[in-house]
């Protein structure tokens, strides 16, 4: 009886070791999307008064957890009863990622004409709360789309394993994604506030505290911009990797060039095609529909 119990414990320990190993592999596979998720949410969590930044971030984090609770059961049901659908969803998600990456590149070279900036106009308390709710809602919707990709890509690394193993690995990756991303975002959005406090503590002197405080204040927008650039590159590479591994006729195209260049090329070309199709559809749609 005792030997059976210890054998069970040994099996559980072995399973958890395998789960940890595969979770690391899956996390690496989803790292590019996590980078984009980090950049997007760092941008959306800034621009509030200091006292509201963390409450807003907490609201987005709770929304992200709810997103995972919706997506995970659906993903596991697909894996159990419609195994082939996972790769279809993965490729569709790859199209979205490639489109988003291509759109960001296009907007960098051909920025939209922006409307008059009203961000600096004084807002009433009610207007501030409305804007806050809108930004939270926007961040949670974006997180939902990226969470689908994170879950599907993580699931794609363990598709051949048992359902229990899939549930454990993908759930761990999803939890790490939420805690990791929003934990780092919390640090990023407080950079400028920490900087201001250090400058204040320097009491007007130009010493180390003052210089480091100013560095943190100036660094915040640059960090967010840098994350955005890295996230865009990552989107293209991840999308290209999805296409090259899951679309059969692409397997043997450009096999002689390095893998990352091949993935980048697939991501840019297919992303540009998606962007062109979307822009064409937008042009032919009635103006009234475009606004919605």
pLDDT for res 22: 58
pLDDT digits (tens, 9 = 90+) for 254-288: 877 888 899 899 999 999 999 999 989 888 876 55
Predicted pLDDT of residue 269: 94
Q: Can you tell me the distance from the alpha carbon of 264 to that of 259, in angstroms, rounded to the nearest whole number?
A: 9
Residues 214-240: tens digit of each pLDDT? 888 888 788 877 877 877 887 788 888
Q: Which two tokens stand for residue 147?
A: 């969470």
Whole-prediction pTM: 0.70
- Give per-residue pLDDT as tens, 48-98: 666 677 788 888 889 889 999 999 999 888 888 887 788 888 888 889 889
Distance CA 49, CA 54 (A): 10
CA atoms within 13 A on the CB side of 57: 27
């Amino acid at each position: 009886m005792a030997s059976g119990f210890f054998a069970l414990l040994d099996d559980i320990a072995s399973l958890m070791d395998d789960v940890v190993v595969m979770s690391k592999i899956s996390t690496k596979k989803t790292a590019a999307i996590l980078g984009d998720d980090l950049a997007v949410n760092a941008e959306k969590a800034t621009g509030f008064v200091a006292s509201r930044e963390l409450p807003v971030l907490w609201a987005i984090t709770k929304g992200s957890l709810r997103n995972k609770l919706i997506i995970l059961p659906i993903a596991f049901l697909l894996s159990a009863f419609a195994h082939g659908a996972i790769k279809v969803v993965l490729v569709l998600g790859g199209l979205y990622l490639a489109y988003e990456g291509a759109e960001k590149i296009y907007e960098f070279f051909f920025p939209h004409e922006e409307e008059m900036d009203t961000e600096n106009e004084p807002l009433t308390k009610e207007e501030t709360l409305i804007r806050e709710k809108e930004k939270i809602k926007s961040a949670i919707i974006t997180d939902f789309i990226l969470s689908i990709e994170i879950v599907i890509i993580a699931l794609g690394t363990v598709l051949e394993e048992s359902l229990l193993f899939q549930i454990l690995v993908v759930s761990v990756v999803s939890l790490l994604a939420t805690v990791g991303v929003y934990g780092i975002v919390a640090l990023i959005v407080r950079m400028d506030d920490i900087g201001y406090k250090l400058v204040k503590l320097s009491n007007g002197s130009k010493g180390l505290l003052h210089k480091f405080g100013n560095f943190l204040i100036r660094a915040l927008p640059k960090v967010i911009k840098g994350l955005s650039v890295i996230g865009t590159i990552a989107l293209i590479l991840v999308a290209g990797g999805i296409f090259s591994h899951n679309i059969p006729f692409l397997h043997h195209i450009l096999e002689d060039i390095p893998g990352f260049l091949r993935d980048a090329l697939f991501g840019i070309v297919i992303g540009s095609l998606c962007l062109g199709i979307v822009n064409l559809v937008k042009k032919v749609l009635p103006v009234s529909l475009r606004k919605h």
